[in-house]
Amino acid sequence: MKRIDRMFAECRAQQRRALIVFVSVGDPSLKFTRKLVPALIDSGADLVEFGVPFSDPMADGPTIQAASERALKSGVNLPQIMDLIGNLRVDFPRTPFVLFSYYNLILQYGVERLAADSAERGVDGWLVVDLPPEEDQEVRPALARHGLAKIPLLAPNTPPERWPLILEQAQGFVYYITVTGVTGARTKLPADLARQLSRIRTGSPVPVAAGFGVSTAQQARTVGEHADGVIVGSRLINVMQEAGTQKKAMAAACRLVRELAAALR
């Protein structure tokens, strides 16, 4: 069984929801990320999304944009990120890892080359933010050749007539964007979130995880009542930035993950 499938199966057996965390790799340094990821997994993260910093992250709000800028200033690049993932895979053979990127970066690296390197280093799937299914003719076959999942996104404003096209090709899990707009913590979630998630889960061949806007344990618990997994990114970055020192940032991140994980049990 593949790592993503096994993780969701184990969560179901334990009657809980999966906690998925987004990490902006290289913010503020690769050395910090190398320490952060194990700490988050030990604190309760079930799957890690490795965000590749990009100079024009159009789907991301101010928090992740700033994190990308800090990472780029530190000099991080995709080859370094792949090496980092490979090193982490040695220590965490069971935790699913997903590469979260924009297509331009993948194209520059080389689709086939990155797919091969991803499989070699232990990446389980890609989440390409700006690549609709009508334009993934190069990416999907490359991922299939190397046993990687292409994880799709659905949003509240995705026309229902497009759902079958997206869901029938879904692998790993479906990332449902809970709110319209860019990433970022929200004070409240949409009123129709439960109905939307219920409809999507009914038509999806794979688990559905929801993210964008989840910032508290209570919100995570609410989303988890209607989804198979909950994704948190901006709030994690925020608490680390607010902490001040890197030592305090690590402690704050782990504390948040423990709270979120407990809320999903």
- Of the candidates 5, 10, 42, 60, the residue annotated as catalytic is 60
What average pLDDT does the segment 117-131 reach?
96
Is 120 part of the annotated catalytic residue set? no
Is 49 part of the annotated catalytic residue set? yes
- Of the candidates 49, 124, 136, 228, the residue annotated as catalytic is 49
Show the domain range for 173: 3-263
**Does residue 69 surpass a pLDDT of 60?**
yes
**Does residue 121 surpass a pLDDT of 70?**
yes
Burial classification of residue 94, based on how many CB atoms lie within 10 Å of its CB (0-12 exposed, 13-18 middle, 19 or more buried): exposed
- Report how far residue 5's alpha carbon sits from residue 1's, in angstroms, rounded to the nearest whole number: 6
pLDDT at residue number 65: 87
Task: Please state which of the ranges 54-58, 90-94, 215-219, 250-254 shows the lowest mean pLDDT.
Answer: 54-58
Q: Determine contact, residues 97/81, Cβ cutoff 8 Å.
A: no
Count of structural domains within the chain: 1
Burial classification of residue 32, based on how many CB atoms lie within 10 Å of its CB (0-12 exposed, 13-18 middle, 19 or more buried): middle
**Does residue 154 surpass a pLDDT of 80?**
yes
What 3-state class would DSSP assign to 221? Answer: helix
- 7 Cβ contact list (under 8 Å, min separation 6): 18, 46, 47, 94, 95, 96
- Report how far residue 17's alpha carbon sits from residue 263's, in angstroms, rounded to the nearest whole number: 9
CATH number at residue 181: 3.20.20.70
**Residue pLDDT, tens place only, 35-54:** 999 999 999 999 999 999 98
Place of tokens 């800090």: 70
Confidence of residue 186 (pLDDT cuts 50, 70, 90): very low
pLDDT at residue number 184: 41
